[in-house]
Structure 1
Amino acid sequence: MTNHQNTGRQHSGRLRTGRTTGTCATAAAMAGVVFLRTGARPRSVAVPLPPGGHLDVPIACYEPHGDTVRVTVIKDGGDDPDATHGCDIQALVELHQSGAEYMVVEIEGGAGVGVTTLPGLPVAVGRPAINPEPLRQIKAGVRAVTGPDFAGRVRVVIEVPDGERLAAKTMNPRLGIVGGISILGTQGIVKPYSHDSWKATVAEGLDVARALGLTHAVFTTGRRSERLYLDAHPDTSTTALIQAADFFEFSMDAAAQRGFARVTWTLFFGKLVKQAQGLASTHAKSHPVDFARLADRCAEAGCAPGLLPTVRTANTARQVLDLLRPDPALPTLLARLKAEAAGAARAFSGSRCEVDHAVFDFDGERLA
């Protein structure tokens, strides 16, 4: 699922936000620690969010089992419910203090949390599908409520009782994640994804930028690509930054209609590949990467022939990029992809905009 996240220029306040599976898991883990440390059963906990701030999350129930407790939080997707909306997210929490000199927080995946079986994902093969940001969020939440005086091991097992059934409704089977859902969320909050409202947000952002005399728009595919661009170009006006997400064709046409002379797209390798395919939308589920076509582009760029079969059968664009990193032809491939993506963008603008790209890898490093 793609979450609608922008820079504060909301189209309207009518749509209700929700909480990610990562935030739900964090709340359950935090409440479990509080119960084991104090015996209290808070009705809600203030969960730290990855970008900063907190979100109050209600706790559904506590189930003590000897020296452990199982805490349940109900996933709420807001007005953009996905397959996990309404399901139980649980944390089984244990505390072990014997002989320890400092605190260790261990996070595991249990029933209903998927396990990765294919490369190209941010979680290593064989590990539970708890993405890096939620993993950090859970650990931060646990440490916040455990207190500085605790020395020992905190073990948290995240479970989703209905996770295996729910996973069939997600992209997990295609991505090689088996046995359950993923614990996700880079921001901690689910913001409603409405095509009409997001397009209106793009249009309104462009209107404001033009009203302020700007002729260069910087389209980002999300908050992270926006931040990376700002880190590299700190003098950029925030008004010029428009979170266009997957709306490639619409955004280019909207920029052209408003008289923008230049557009920069700041994105990750996977979105660059899709733009180079000329897709009107680059949404992950409805518009996948054409790996056969990508393999052809690799061949044209002079990449090692022995790599091409793996590219053709790759699972994700990340896998392809990792595979090609040692190949000296990678810069040539990137240049070709950027040229094709810029050509598609100019076509969508009716040849009214000049286009360039700032491309990042999945660890946030700028690609030449």
Structure 2
Amino acid sequence: MIRSGYTLPVFACASAVAALHWLRHHQPVNIVSVDLIEPVETAEIPIEQVAGLSENMALAITRSDPGDNLDLTKNTPIWALVEWHQGEGETVIIKGGEGIGKQLNADGKAAIYGYAQKLLQENLSRLLAPEEKITVTIILPAGRSLAARTSNSAFGVVEGLSLLGTTGISQPLSSPEQLTAFLADLRQKASQFDSLVFCIGENGLDLARQIGINPEQLVKTANWIGPMLVEADNLGVKEILLFGYHGKLMKLAGGIFHTHHHLADGRREILSTYCSLAGLSQPDIQTIFASPTAEAALTHLRHLDATTGSGWVNQVYSAIAAAIDSRSQEYIRSHSSRDTSATTCGSVLFDRDRKIIVKSKTACMLSGKLC
């Protein structure tokens, strides 16, 4: 049985609550309660250290505990610097300090997203008197170095980690226990809808909501796309829109249906193959193959389009999207227990700025039913 832990925003919130407690009582606290909001439960978080820096400022430290999830932030310190502030403005001002990433597509705004903002605002506001106001700065001392080991930069977040997610519970996305939870969610939604949208991660879920897709039709798959497709077909789901970051979703075009990089990658091989089939020159194919990331390869194709007036991005990615659709349906048919026709699949690929690169022909048809 895998032990669940908590997400990074929970520990950031706990540190802030502990620092605020010192400001009010001038006493340290060993454990604080955090209302997770989602799910509806309270977490008891141990505090490693609390220090008063002045009469108006305090610092508290917790350490991340994601449970048995293979999370690179495990045991990393999370600091919160809390200080009183006067004047107009919000009751709780939240800032990102050292180690919190910056969003390139939002003028360098701190990568502290919706759930983390809500968690901090609600837990701290209820501890303040009506006239009191505070500024909270979240600091991840190891955030900058840890970010170099993530794909954050592929989503336009630089210089640190994100406080991202929709829940306080840390989810081990590649564990069999997590697949069981995803399948349960799929069964519940398949009982209500004939058409569903599969999203690999939080970026896809967030973007899908932004463009108007019904949240009740969104299903998170993490890396378990193959088993989730087969189960959807067994449940009689008629249509699935695969909605994901191009660096992940393109693996399906190569027949890779468990997308964790520890099991299989193949992105540069897949992208280079489709560039070759589209007629790209040998030197440019070599550049694509040597690109360190899928995003860098896409940038090169976009540069070619901008400087030569070509349409390589559309040609290459349209072919990849069509292959994702066909390979997905082949995968379903090869594992299906149904005698009737397999579930129809369409695909939408987006880039690091959460801008859609391409929709397959089937995806264009499905989008009208989902938005």
TM-score by shorter chain over 0.5 = yes
- Change in Cα spacing, 1:324 to 1:139, as seen in structure 2 (3 Å) is farther
Structure 1 residue 137: deviation in Å? Answer: 5.6
1:340 to 323, 339, 343: 323
Paired position in structure 2 for 1:248: 225
The answer to whether the aligner puts 1:78 opposite 2:60 as a matched pair is: no
- Matched with 2:348 is 358
CA distance in 2, matches of 1:101, 1:203: 48
The answer to whether the 8 A contact 1:45-1:59 is kept is: no
2:95 maps to a residue whose letter is I
Matched, 1:89 2:70: no
Q: How does 1:1-368 map to 2 (within 5 A)?
A: 16-37=3-24, 39=26, 41=28, 43-46=31-34, 55-60=42-47, 61-67=49-55, 68-80=57-69, 82-95=71-84, 97=86, 101-102=88-89, 105=93, 107-110=95-98, 113=99, 122=103, 132=113, 136=117, 140=121, 144=125, 149-150=131-132, 154=135, 156=137, 158-160=139-141, 167=146, 171-172=149-150, 182-189=161-168, 190-193=170-173, 195-204=175-184, 212=191, 216=195, 218-222=197-201, 225-226=204-205, 228-229=207-208, 232-234=212-214, 238=216, 241-257=218-234, 260=237, 262-288=239-265, 290-291=267-268, 293-298=270-275, 300-301=277-278, 311-321=288-298, 327=305, 328-350=311-333, 353=342, 354-362=344-352, 364-366=354-356, 367-368=358-359
The SS at the match of 1:350 is helix
**AA aligned opposite 1:149:** E
Q: CA deviation at 1:64?
A: 2.0
Aligned identity (percent) is: 20
Residues 331, 34 of structure 1: alpha-carbon distance in 2 compared, 3 angstrom cutoff: farther
Q: Which deviations, in whole Å up to 9, do the C-alpha atoms of 1:97-150 show, x marking residues without a partner?
A: 5xx55469463444xx4879xxxxx568xx899565577468746973566635
CA contact (8 A) 1:131 1:182 kept: no
Q: Post-superposition shift, 1:252?
A: 3.1
Aligned residues: 336
Of structures 1 and 2, the one scoring higher in RCO (CA 8 A, sep 6+) is: 1
User: Aligned partners of 1:148 and 1:320: how far apart in 2?
Assistant: 53
Alignment root-mean-square deviation, CA: 4.9
Instruction: Find the residue that maps to 1:245 and give its secondary structure.
Output: coil
Letter in 2 for 1:271: K
| Structure 2 unaligned regions, length at least 5 | 306-310, 335-340, 360-371
Structure 1 residue 163, shift from structure 2 partner: 6.8
Provide the secondary structure at the position in 1 that maps to 2:69: coil
Letter in 2 for 1:344: R
| Cα distance in 2, alignment partners of residues 66 and 53 from structure 1 | 35
After superposition, give the CA deviation of every residue in 1:164-192 in whole Å (9 maximum; x if it has no partner): 99x49x9349979xxx9735431242134
1:282 deviates by 1.2
1:241 deviation in Å? 4.9
CA deviation profile, 1:282-305 (whole Å, cap 9, x unmatched): 124543462354245346557899
**Partner SS for 1:347:** helix
Alpha-carbon distance between aligned partners in 1 of 2:295 and 2:129, rounded to the nearest angstrom = 38
Which of the pair is proportionally richer in helix?
A: 2
After TM superposition, the structure 1 stretch with the greater mean CA deviation from structure 2, 298-307 or 322-331, is: 298-307
Q: TM-score, normalised by structure 2?
A: 0.66
In the alignment, structure 1 segments of 5+ residues that lack a partner are 1-13, 117-121
Deviations 1:13-65 (A, max 9, x none): x755322223212321243234325546564143566x797754524131223
Normalising by structure 1, we get a TM-score of 0.66
Shift of 1:72: 1.8
Q: Distance in 2 between matches of 1:356 and 1:115?
A: 33
